[in-house]
Structure 1
Amino acid sequence: MTKITENVIETFCIELLEKQGYEYIYAPDIAPDSDNPQRSSFEDILLSSRLTDAVARINPTIPHDAQQEAIKEVSRIHSPELLTNNESFHRMLT
């Protein structure tokens, strides 16, 4: 019987998301100390430039100010509770 490890699950999930059109980037390749940093520190949860590009690409007809307001809202932490924040974020997406 094959042992299911975290690596097996992670690889499966990455492959599944890639099949759906998502781009996988190995985290150390975009780390703050890498040749292509996409955040100033590991404390930065969101990859701001990627989020801004995605919002503009997905919503080209929405005014720039509205796009910036949406980014600000997504970036805001409303509660110290992780579950509450996840639920709030999910509501914004749906």
Structure 2
Amino acid sequence: MTSNVNNDCTVKESVKANLRRLVKRLLRKYDYLPEKQEKATVTVLQQAELLCRDWAA
């Protein structure tokens, strides 16, 4: 699994952008409050980054 982890900044940014898009789509799908969507998106991305940090090591 670790062979798929890439630390290239450009790849990392594109992955973050894709995750951000997916999270926002899910929040809209389940009628999450629009004024809270940005904070929720940031929180999910931070959690994902923390979970994946150990995989890259």
Normalising by structure 2, report the TM-score: 0.46
Structure showing greater Rg: 1
Query: Greater RCO between the two (CA within 8 Å, min separation 6)?
Result: 2
Is the helix fraction higher in 1 or 2? 2
What is the TM-score with the length of structure 1 in the denominator?
A: 0.32
